[in-house]
Amino acid sequence: MSARLVPAGGDRTGRRPDVPLRITVDGEPVDGVAGQTLAGVLLAAGRRAWRRGPSGAPRGVFCGIGACFDCLLTVNGARDVRACRRRARDGDVVATQSRDAR
């Protein structure tokens, strides 16, 4: 999966108005664009992993369609949110998590 965001000016249809948003990930602000998933915001910000599996291996987006559960985050206090399925909303508070931290 690409870790970049194509600028609105590069959109050949010319109909994509980028509406900026900001989320907080582990206490740090991360900027994105309305319509991106949480995984998309994190990837565009250069973060390819945001969770650790039981073995300690880094995890991020694997399947990108919500089938594998590798991209889990805590969002606004709700654990186990799939980052590839949840659209980012301005003001979301996101925390990374590990499978063994319950």
Domain that holds residue 94: 19-98
Q: Is 91 inside a domain boundary?
A: yes
How remote is the C-alpha of 66 from its chain's centroid? 13
Q: Is 42 inside a domain boundary?
A: yes
Q: Is 2 inside a domain boundary?
A: no
Tell whether the torsion through CA atoms of 66, 60, 33 and 28 is positive or negative: positive
The answer to whether 38 and 83 have CB atoms below 8 angstroms apart is yes
For the chain, the domain total comes to 1
| CATH for 54 | 3.10.20.440
Q: Is the pLDDT of residue 98 over 80?
A: no
Q: Is 10 inside a domain boundary?
A: no
d(CA 90, CA 24): 9
d(CA 83, CA 41): 9
Q: Is 12 inside a domain boundary?
A: no
Q: Is 62 inside a domain boundary?
A: yes
pLDDT value of position 3: 53
Model pLDDT for residues 22-72, shown as the tens digit of each residue = 999 999 999 999 999 999 999 999 999 988 878 888 888 888 888 888 899
pLDDT value of position 5: 64
Task: State phi, psi for 39 to the nearest 5 degrees.
Answer: -60, -40
Q: Is 3 inside a domain boundary?
A: no
pTM value is 0.81
pLDDT value of position 39: 95
Q: Is 7 inside a domain boundary?
A: no
DSSP symbols for 37-77: BHHHHHHHTT----EE-TTS-EE--SSSSSSS-TTEEEETT
Residue whose token pair is 């109909």: 15
Confidence of residue 6 (pLDDT cuts 50, 70, 90): low
